[in-house]
Amino acid sequence: MKAVGVDLGGHKIAAALVEDGHILRRISEPTSGREPDGILSQIAVMVKSLGACADCPVGVGIPGVLDADRETALLLPNFSGWNGLPLRKMLSSKIGLPVAMENDANCHALGEGWGGAAVGMDDFLLLALGTGIGGAIVTGGRILKGFHGMAGEPGHLVVGSGEPCGCGSHGHLEGISGADALERQARAMGLQPDLKYLWTRRTDPAVAPLWDRGLDHLAKGIASAVHLLDPQAVILGGGLSRGENFLAVLRPRVLDYLAAPFRKTLDLRLSLLGNDAATIGAAALTRS
């Protein structure tokens, strides 16, 4: 069966026509501002251009917290004015077809479980290190949604104190170690806010404090989640994870925070599907 998967991001929207977990055709466009109507219209045009129809359903990954029924956006930290909107109904109206909706990091996990780094796993944790820090928990082969539908938000683990987070609270992991937060910190330090460039200079005395702090808090968050969930693996995706030797730099920091039994079982690995994971996973939402 063919399906269209869409991954809505703060900087770009990716969409793909997927069949049996394989992408047949993909398109990607810069996200047109932050206004709901404009972005939802943009998604509709992209979906239709990929040939969505009654026999080709649509799944969409949303970067934020959704209600238990996956109808309404409860909290989209990087999209001001979206909270409380009935996004699934609005998207379905724009596209003219039924739409399945899920948190984007949950889509990422579904994609990795279908054809990526988590194939064959029933219990794993995924962290998507991008504009913010998304996440997903798979336990017993199913996405853990929680009683209210809001489970699986490692980006909002409290590892700091007063640092502002896009969700409106403070001290959260993504408010310290997410890409947007790191770029803000770089500017405050008088550094060029280009994280790819700054990663290549991470040992320079002027740059090292930025990464020391960001990676230290990320390691605390991962170690805390491992202690809580005891997963088969922790899978890292998103742009930040693609820095050269990222795992080699991060892994010792995570091990340092783990209790002894958990050090022996830590399996920290990179997403295999890269930027395609969330779109493949969004298409997987339509499989039932």
Q: Which tokens go with 54?
A: 């009654």
* 115 pLDDT higher than 90: no
Q: Which tokens go with 10?
A: 């703060």
What is the predicted pLDDT for the residue at 223?
98
Higher pLDDT, 114 or 232: 232
Give me the domain span that covers residue 30: 2-107+276-284
Q: Name every residue whose Cβ is closer than 8 Å to that of residue 200 and which is 6 or more positions away in sequence.
A: 244
Is there a domain that residue 180 lies in? yes
* 288 pLDDT higher than 70: no
What span, in angstroms and rounded, lies between the C-alpha atoms of 168 and 183?
18
The CATH number of whichever domain residue 230 belongs to comes to 3.30.420.40
Please indicate, yes or no, whether residues 92 and 38 belong to a single structural domain of this protein.
yes
Please indicate, yes or no, whether residues 130 and 229 belong to a single structural domain of this protein.
yes
Q: Which tokens go with 287?
A: 């499989």
SS3 call for 153: coil
Rg over alpha carbons for the chain, rounded to the nearest Å, is: 18
Is there a domain that residue 93 lies in? yes
Please indicate, yes or no, whether residues 149 and 51 belong to a single structural domain of this protein.
no
Q: For residues 134-142, give the mean pLDDT.
A: 93
Phi, psi of 159 (to 5 degrees): -120, -5
Is there a domain that residue 114 lies in? no
DSSP 243-257: STTHHHHHHHHHHHH
Q: Which tokens go with 263?
A: 């050090």
Question: Domain tally for the chain?
Answer: 2
- At 11-54, the pLDDT tens digits run 899 999 999 888 999 999 999 888 999 999 999 999 999 988 88
What is this structure's pTM?
0.84
What is the predicted pLDDT for the residue at 254?
98
Is there a domain that residue 94 lies in? yes
Q: Name every residue whose Cβ is closer than 8 Å to that of residue 52 and which is 6 or more positions away in sequence.
A: 4, 58, 95, 97
Under the banding of pLDDT at 50, 70 and 90, the label for residue 109 is very high
* 215 pLDDT higher than 90: yes
Ramachandran class of 171: left when φ > 0, alpha when ψ lies in -120 to 50, beta otherwise: left
What is the predicted pLDDT for the residue at 251?
98
* 114 pLDDT higher than 90: no
Q: Which tokens go with 14?
A: 């990716």
Q: Note whether 232 and 265 are within 8 A (CB).
A: no
